[in-house]
Amino acid sequence: MRNTGTLAEGAAKLAGELRAAPVERVLADANRKAVRGGAPAAFGSMSRPSVWYAFDEGDQQTPDWYPQGLTCGADSGTIPVSVFLATWYFRPEAGERGIRLTFLSPATLKYRHALLVEAAPDGSFKPIDIHAGGVACYGDLLYVADTTRGLRVFDLNHILDLTSVQSGVGDGTRIGRHGGRLHAFGYRYVIPQTDFWRVAVPGARFSFVGLDRTTTPHTLISGEYAEDHPRGRVARWNLELDGQPRDAHVMGHEKIQGAISHSGRWYLSQSAGSGANGRLIVYSGGAPARRPFPIGPEDLTARGGKVWSVTEFRNRRVVFGVNL
């Protein structure tokens, strides 16, 4: 059920004040650098893949931010540069700081975080306190999973630069408007929510989200995490989000953190806690194949003949790909 409310109005008001930056500009002035082949402990007992990127030391060690969702420019189809986009949620110690989106270039290894926010009609804005367990990008729109509520939608034409109207990024402990200045907990870029697709069926969950560009038409994928029983479902939706899934299946596995379909196969990311390797479960007809996966695997996306994921635990935070 679509429930835009005043979100589009608030985003437009904020965008009318701040200059927008395209993804390529965000990457060009990125202020962090990933490490190719870093944080190898993420792979535990499995053979290491041919390619992976580790977040920098600060992002490896922080106890506050945990990566969850992953998508890429290939999913979008319109982003003109190679990029991964990852969501993180804040595990609060001294106040909620919401969710953020990372833009990571596999070409340069440079990356930058932006804060995802909710804007009011007057242009004020606040953090979004959700888990952000999955993310998908299609065209200019970013779909972020909100577990019990549905899908929050953001427009990548609204990557808004606070420094376009003031010197500096403001106070790192504040968000919104204070003393005539804008603040976003120290982030230079904010991306306001523009739309909301809310769950209409009681009990349905959107734990993660993905995209399949191999179906006709292309489809959005959602799924339900189940902690200790195998009844979680996965579904494909038309991008128009008309309220009914195109198809749906009971996965039959617990602790699924992400799922995509690709060329007729289903790929499920299964976790096993912070001390054991997960599994990649692949359905291509008949009994599923179970492949070794890193410790703490999360959401999935497909790019360049590989299925990609991101891992969440401290000092084991990587973006990695294995063959489809």
Q: Report domain extents, the chain.
A: 7-323
How are strands ordered across the β-sheet holding 256-262? 256-262, 265-270, 277-283, 289-295
Which burial class, exposed, middle or buried, applies to 70 when counting CB atoms under 10 A from its CB (0-12, 13-18, 19+)? buried
Burial 41-68 (b: 16+ CB within 10 A, else e): ebbbebeeeeebbbbbeebbeeeebbbb
143, two tokens: 């779909």
| Sequence-distant contacts of 236-243: CB under 8 A, at least 24 apart | 236/212, 236/261, 239/138, 241/2, 241/151, 241/197, 243/1, 243/200
- Element of type H or E holding 170: none
Mean local confidence (pLDDT), 299-321: 98
pLDDT at 96: 86
What pLDDT digit, counting tens, does each position of 184-226 carry? 999 999 999 999 999 887 778 999 999 999 999 999 999 999 9
Mean local confidence (pLDDT), 150-178: 95
pLDDT at 200: 82
Q: Report the percent of the chain where pLDDT is more than 70.
A: 99
| CA dist., res. 149 & res. 164, Å (int) | 33
What pLDDT digit, counting tens, does each position of 129-157 carry? 999 999 999 999 999 999 999 999 999 99
CATH fold of 7-323: Neuraminidase (2.120.10)
This model's pTM is above 0.95: yes
Q: Which residues pair with 317 in a beta bridge?
A: none
pLDDT at 94: 60
Cα dihedral sign for 261, 282, 298, 132?
A: positive
φ, ψ of residue 186 in degrees (nearest 5): 90, -5
Specify the pairing of strand 32-33 against strand 233-238.
Answer: unpaired
pLDDT at 128: 96
Residue 93 pLDDT class (50, 70, 90 cuts): low
Lowest mean pLDDT among 3-17, 76-90, 237-251: 237-251
pLDDT at 241: 87
C-alpha torsion 129→134→138→140, nearest 10: 30
Q: Which residues pair with 160 in a beta bridge?
A: 20, 190
What pLDDT digit, counting tens, does each position of 101-129 carry? 999 999 999 999 999 999 999 999 999 99
Quote the distance between the C-alpha of residue 108 and its chain's center: 20
